[in-house]
């Protein structure tokens, strides 16, 4: 794979990022309402403004300024047993798109339809051994696929993390259903078991989709709906997980490890590795059998608020007629307000067997509060 190259025409991204950082506000108090009856509701937002430059071919480079994510969040509790989480999204708002209909090609900017991305109601009868989640929720096919977008280590998820999402007619890794979730043996063992819609088929006669996950936590457990990407040196987390996802003849088997470790003076390193084998079989012909790997690592330097990181993703098809792909990325984050405010610059290179490698640069400003 040839060396990463930052072409002169992509330097505008660095200038835009510096301007974004200067304008970024600092985080304020939480926006929360607590009536006297014990219920509560809080509000938040996630904004990720992004500059992007991507090689299309040897002669052309695609360039965009857009909102990678633009979300409104709300959550709270009705009482001690019932809680909820809700968020909207308008992803890739303003990004250039090309569509073809009836032989006519139309170039435009993404209108960014606003839609409900998550809506989860959780019933917790008592203790942490059993929670029941109902609604539209992110699926735990791997550790990376169940992470919060606001706390990712790298600039985004792995490029093949949601390879199953479109074939299963999931919405950005979300599906509708019910999930049992709990923490056993002094919180060392987490289980998640879900029944989801999946692909309904003609007259909705397909079997439902089933997901299962076990994760062993060596130290502290993560008891929220979503997993973290990095705690920036604040928590010691080490987990080993296995997952299984199936519907009709489709199935995915996965294994992963996540390690987040403080290293004195507020510093810390984060390492994650996810492996999965996916096979759509005759049920999901758009998902040929494949093995996917995603690995990322980073080190947070507290005194400088810097977060250098690297990631590698690999996609190998069982069918030799299909071209395998990979992607390597190196990046640097300036975490001026932690996850509440940061700027990340990353350089990536896509490789395709038998094809030309493509360079890309991402510059992203994140503002988050919840």
- The predicted pLDDT at position 101 comes to 67
Work out the average pLDDT over 76-99.
92
Nearest one of 333, 346, 366 to 24, comparing CA atoms: 366
Phi-psi category of residue 39: left, alpha or beta, with phi > 0 → left and psi -120 to 50 → alpha: beta
Q: What is the DSSP letter of 295?
A: E
Work out the average pLDDT over 59-70.
93
Among 7-11, 201-205, 244-248, whose mean pLDDT is lowest?
7-11
- The predicted pLDDT at position 118 comes to 96
Nearest one of 214, 286, 279 to 249, comparing CA atoms: 279
pLDDT above 70 (res 72): yes
pLDDT above 70 (res 1): no
- The predicted pLDDT at position 107 comes to 81
pLDDT above 90 (res 113): no
- Which residues make Cβ contacts (< 8 Å) with residue 323, sequence separation at least 6? 317, 352, 353, 354, 355
- CA gap 132, 349 in Å, rounded: 41
pLDDT above 80 (res 46): yes
- The predicted pLDDT at position 158 comes to 97
pLDDT above 90 (res 12): no
- Do 279 and 244 touch, CB atoms closer than 8 A? no
- Do 309 and 153 touch, CB atoms closer than 8 A? yes
Which has more pLDDT, 2 or 105? Answer: 105
pLDDT band at 97 (very low <50, low <70, confident <90, very high): confident
Percent of the chain with pLDDT over 90: 81
Burial of 148 (0-12, 13-18, 19+ CB in 10 A): middle
- CA gap 72, 93 in Å, rounded: 14
327: which 2 tokens?
Answer: 């992607």
Q: What residues form DSSP beta bridges with 273?
A: 257, 295
166: which 2 tokens?
Answer: 């479109």
pLDDT digits (tens, 9 = 90+) for 256-305: 999 999 998 999 999 999 999 999 999 999 999 999 999 999 999 999 99
Which has more pLDDT, 31 or 230? Answer: 230
41: which 2 tokens?
Answer: 């509701």
pLDDT digits (tens, 9 = 90+) for 239-260: 999 999 999 999 999 999 999 9
326: which 2 tokens?
Answer: 């990979």
pLDDT band at 178 (very low <50, low <70, confident <90, very high): very high
Mean pLDDT in the chain? 91
pLDDT above 80 (res 6): no
- The predicted pLDDT at position 56 comes to 84
Work out the average pLDDT over 5-17.
41
- The predicted pLDDT at position 11 comes to 35
- The predicted pLDDT at position 245 comes to 98
Nearest one of 153, 145, 246 to 196, comparing CA atoms: 246
The CATH classification number of 43-91+112-369 equals 2.40.160.10
pLDDT above 90 (res 104): no
Helices in the chain by DSSP H: which ranges? Answer: 12-23
- CA gap 293, 256 in Å, rounded: 10
- Give the three-state DSSP class for 311: strand
Q: Name the residue with tokens 């300024």.
A: 65
Which has more pLDDT, 357 or 312? Answer: 312
pLDDT band at 13 (very low <50, low <70, confident <90, very high): very low
Work out the average pLDDT over 48-54.
96
- The predicted pLDDT at position 102 comes to 67
Nearest one of 142, 336, 369, 147 to 232, comparing CA atoms: 336
- The predicted pLDDT at position 249 comes to 97
pTM value surpassing 0.85: yes
Sign of the CA dihedral running 58, 154, 96, 116: positive
> What is the maximal distance between C-alpha atoms in the chain?
65
* CA distances for 308 relative to 41, 72, 231, angstroms: 36, 29, 14
- The predicted pLDDT at position 26 comes to 40
Nearest one of 224, 214, 211, 225 to 185, comparing CA atoms: 214
Among 27-31, 55-59, 320-324, whose mean pLDDT is lowest?
27-31
- The predicted pLDDT at position 40 comes to 93
């Amino acid at each position: 794979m040839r060396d990463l190259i930052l072409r002169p025409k992509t330097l505008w991204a660095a200038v835009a990022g510096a301007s974004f950082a200067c304008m970024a506000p600092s985080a304020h108090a939480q926006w929360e309402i607590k009536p006297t009856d014990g219920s509560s509701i809080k509000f938040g937002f996630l904004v990720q403004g992004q500059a992007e430059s991507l090689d299309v071919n040897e002669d052309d480079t695609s360039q965009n300024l857009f909102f990678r994510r633009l979300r409104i969040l709300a959550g709270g509790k009705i009482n001690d047993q019932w809680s909820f989480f809700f968020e909207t999204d308008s992803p890739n708002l303003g990004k250039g798109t090309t569509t073809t209909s009836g032989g006519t090609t139309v170039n435009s900017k993404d209108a960014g339809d606003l839609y409900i991305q998550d809506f989860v109601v959780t019933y917790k009868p008592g203790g942490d051994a059993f929670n029941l989640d109902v609604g539209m929720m992110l699926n735990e096919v791997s550790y990376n696929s169940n992470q919060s977008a606001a706390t990712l280590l790298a600039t985004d998820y792995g490029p093949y993390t949601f390879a199953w999402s479109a074939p299963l007619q999931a919405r950005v890794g979300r599906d509708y259903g019910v999930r049992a979730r709990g923490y056993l043996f002094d919180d060392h063992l987490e289980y998640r078991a879900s029944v989801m819609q999946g692909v309904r088929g003609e007259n909705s006669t397909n079997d439902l989709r089933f997901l299962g996950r076990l994760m062993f936590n060596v130290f502290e457990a993560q008891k929220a709906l979503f997993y973290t990407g990095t705690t920036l040196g604040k928590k010691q987390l080490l987990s080993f997980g296995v997952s299984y996802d199936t519907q009709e003849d489709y199935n995915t088997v996965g294994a992963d490890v996540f390690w987040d470790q403080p290293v004195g003076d507020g510093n810390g390193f984060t390492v994650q590795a996810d492996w999965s084998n996916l096979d759509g079989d005759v049920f999901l012909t758009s998902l040929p059998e494949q093995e996917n790997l995603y690995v990322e690592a980073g080190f947070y330097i507290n005194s400088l608020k810097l977060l250098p990181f690297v990631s590698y993703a690999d996609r190998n098809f069982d069918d030799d007629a299909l071209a395998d792909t990979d992607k390597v990325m190196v990046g640097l984050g300036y975490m001026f307000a932690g996850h509440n405010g940061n700027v990340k610059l990353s350089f990536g290179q896509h490789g395709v067997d038998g094809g030309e490698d493509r360079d890309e640069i991402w510059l992203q400003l994140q503002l988050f509060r919840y």
